Structure 1
Amino acid sequence: MKIGFIGAGKVGTNLGRYFDTKGWPLSGFYSKHYEDAIFSARQTNSHAFSELSECVAASDWLFITVPDDQLLTVWQEVEPLLTREYCLFHCSGSKSSAIFATEKAQIACFSLHPLTAFATKSVPLEQLAQVAFTLEGDQQQTQVKAAFANLENPLAVISAEDKSLYHAAGIFASSLVVGLATTAQEIFQTCGLPEAFAKSAWRQVFTQNAMNLVLNGPKESLSGPIEENDLTTIIEHLAVLSPEDAKIYCELTKKLIKLASEKYPERDYQFIEEKLD
């Protein structure tokens, strides 16, 4: 089994680095920017291909690791070159393997999504070892699952129909958190706090909360007025927040009430719920 990558960005390069350390044989990388293929190949002890056809011919498993909006275009270039058995993968969180439309029965198509954000091409290997993956696809799934079991990363199978919902869940845990942190920073500045202070003051509480979530889970990480069933503080918050921020505050607080009700079934949150509607 030789693994080739079409696309030498952050996703492909990091996966290639990780697979290489696990002893998986890599054929190499192809990129429309040859210098990117050279960089990734050097990171993975593999080859930089100057032609797409060379990468395809040298590989048995092909990972098309390009931006989502380029997947179909690249696939249309790759598909005519597939003349034997291949396993095809893309790494989109939202798109299914159905984008690899082909009548060639010898082609097995999958989406394999790493549930993480690759900030650079050099993510530490110990972090890559903790990344969870989801696998979607119909053919030879047992063979592929067995191969990835050797990596010892968390792996779950997902249906094509659930890909968009799954991806939305990932966005809630990643980029939407950035939106919340930005909101906190803006509100600090609205209080008249110095800009430099506002940009850094939230970081410690954010980091501590994130650690609590990872170590203890959401229910045991509750804090603030919902943990204390404190209606007065919530009323005070809503009185000073902008309408836009108050809406966000209310919707997220409703989620916290669900958790708190499970944690403290003897408590009555009715008055808070009424204030949030």
Structure 2
Amino acid sequence: MRPTLNIVGGGHVGRALGRLFARSGLFVIQDVMTRSLHSARHAVDFIGAGDPVHEIAALRHADVWMLAVADDQIAQVASALAKAGLVDGAVVFHCSGAKSSAELDAAARAGALAASVHPVRSFADPAAVAAAFDGTYCGIEGEPHALALLGAAFEAIGARLVPIDAAAKTVYHAASVFASNYLVTVLDAALRAYQAAGIEPEVARELARPLATETLSNVFRLGPESALSGPIARGDMATVARQQQAVTTWDEATGALYAALAEATTDLARRKRGGA
């Protein structure tokens, strides 16, 4: 008998993983609950399996529960499921990168086996994710028996599992923010600075593209110390000071960003030179 899976949350993550699990045949997709019956039906249509539900009273017992909800809703949903008597003996997991499995304490106290599985990738296009999930790294932590079941299920849909320290979950998620969100912010600053120099936006992107892509390639091929180049790596702090002043004069907020990055880059350059 295949285990039953209920999905709470029909956003990008819930839909993408739901479709993957439905196609794999690992679980019987049972109930899919979202805030409205309309959105639940859309989620079920995307997943290709399950029954749409929009209230906890309509949910059935399941062997596995995936809580694909916003971070600040995880504990609330877990508590509601526990109060409804739905999770005793079940595996309950969430997909947050910022919160640990401790967010599911209410469910654990009600007899559930709690865990978290966080796919490290963007879910902006759930259809594309479902079509090319193979090789996706997933940070996992939680109750060992829950991880045994979930680990096998995620590996079956192509995941690469990375055990993480639950106590360091927030720092772990911040790493992804640095690698993704803040990278966008830094590139936005670069593009705006090009435009401030009179360069058209389309041309600015083409100027930044080879610098950004080659630098990223070097970081992952050689490591950050070897990939670092530019005035700070050369020790040309006079140039850095002039740039700092010019950027601050142009845009004070971007100047503050430049200053913070210069300080961090100076530390990286010291490591590059083998300093303390």
Settle same-fold status: TM greater than 0.5: yes
2:43 is paired with a residue whose SS is helix
Alignment-derived partner of residue 121 in structure 2:
116
- Structure 1, 256-265 or 3-12: larger mean CA deviation: 256-265
Equivalent AA in structure 2 for residue 177 of structure 1 = L
| Cα drift, residue 63 of structure 1 | 0.5
Q: Against the structure 1 CA distance between its residues 145 and 74, is the aligned structure 2 distance closer, same or farther, given a 3 Å change threshold?
A: closer
Aligned pairs (5 A) from 1:5-16: 5-16=7-18
Q: Against the structure 1 CA distance between its residues 103 and 217, is the aligned structure 2 distance closer, same or farther, given a 3 Å change threshold?
A: closer
Distance 2:107 2:260 in 1: 44
Measured against aligned partners, the alpha-carbon deviations of 1:3-32 in whole angstroms (never above 9, x if no partner) come to 221111101111122334444224142222
* 2:221 is equivalent to residue 218 of structure 1: no
2:241 is paired with a residue whose SS is helix
Q: 1:35 aligns with which of 32, 38, 46?
A: 38
Q: Against the structure 1 CA distance between its residues 73 and 30, is the aligned structure 2 distance closer, same or farther, given a 3 Å change threshold?
A: same
| Cα drift, residue 180 of structure 1 | 0.9
Q: 2:91 aligns with which of 87, 94, 109?
A: 87
Alignment-derived partner of residue 275 in structure 1:
none
| Cα drift, residue 177 of structure 1 | 1.4
* 2:208 is equivalent to residue 194 of structure 1: no
Distance 1:154 1:45 in 2: 24
Measured against aligned partners, the alpha-carbon deviations of 1:27-81 in whole angstroms (never above 9, x if no partner) come to 1422223333333333433113235558852631110111122223322332224
1:59 is paired with a residue whose SS is coil
| Cα drift, residue 109 of structure 1 | 1.0
Alignment-derived partner of residue 243 in structure 2:
237
Q: Against the structure 1 CA distance between its residues 70 and 174, is the aligned structure 2 distance closer, same or farther, given a 3 Å change threshold?
A: same
Aligned pairs (5 A) from 1:14-29: 14-28=16-30, 29=32
Alignment-derived partner of residue 272 in structure 1:
none
Measured against aligned partners, the alpha-carbon deviations of 1:156-178 in whole angstroms (never above 9, x if no partner) come to 22233211111222111111112
Does structure 1 retain, via aligned residues, the 8 Å contact 2:78–2:107? no
| Cα drift, residue 183 of structure 1 | 1.3
Distance 2:27 2:124 in 1: 25
* 2:73 is equivalent to residue 70 of structure 1: yes
Aligned residue pairs total 267
Q: Against the structure 1 CA distance between its residues 134 and 39, is the aligned structure 2 distance closer, same or farther, given a 3 Å change threshold?
A: same
- Structure 1, 30-39 or 178-187: larger mean CA deviation: 30-39
Distance 2:241 2:102 in 1: 49
- Structure 2 alignment gaps of length 5 or more: none
- Structure 1, 124-133 or 174-183: larger mean CA deviation: 124-133
Does structure 1 retain, via aligned residues, the 8 Å contact 2:53–2:59? no
Q: Against the structure 1 CA distance between its residues 45 and 225, is the aligned structure 2 distance closer, same or farther, given a 3 Å change threshold?
A: same
What is the TM-score normalised by the length of structure 2? 0.81
Does structure 1 retain, via aligned residues, the 8 Å contact 2:20–2:157? no
What is the TM-score normalised by the length of structure 1? 0.81
Q: Against the structure 1 CA distance between its residues 149 and 197, is the aligned structure 2 distance closer, same or farther, given a 3 Å change threshold?
A: closer
Equivalent AA in structure 2 for residue 78 of structure 1 = L
Distance 1:102 1:62 in 2: 11
Q: Against the structure 1 CA distance between its residues 170 and 125, is the aligned structure 2 distance closer, same or farther, given a 3 Å change threshold?
A: same
Alignment-derived partner of residue 174 in structure 1:
180
Distance 1:176 1:183 in 2: 11
Measured against aligned partners, the alpha-carbon deviations of 1:80-135 in whole angstroms (never above 9, x if no partner) come to 24164210011111122222214645310112111222112212446422321112
Distance 2:213 2:36 in 1: 38
- Structure 1 alignment gaps of length 5 or more: 270-277
**Superposition CA RMSD, Å:** 3.0
Does structure 2 retain, via aligned residues, the 8 Å contact 1:89–1:112? yes
* 2:262 is equivalent to residue 253 of structure 1: yes
Distance 1:99 1:132 in 2: 22
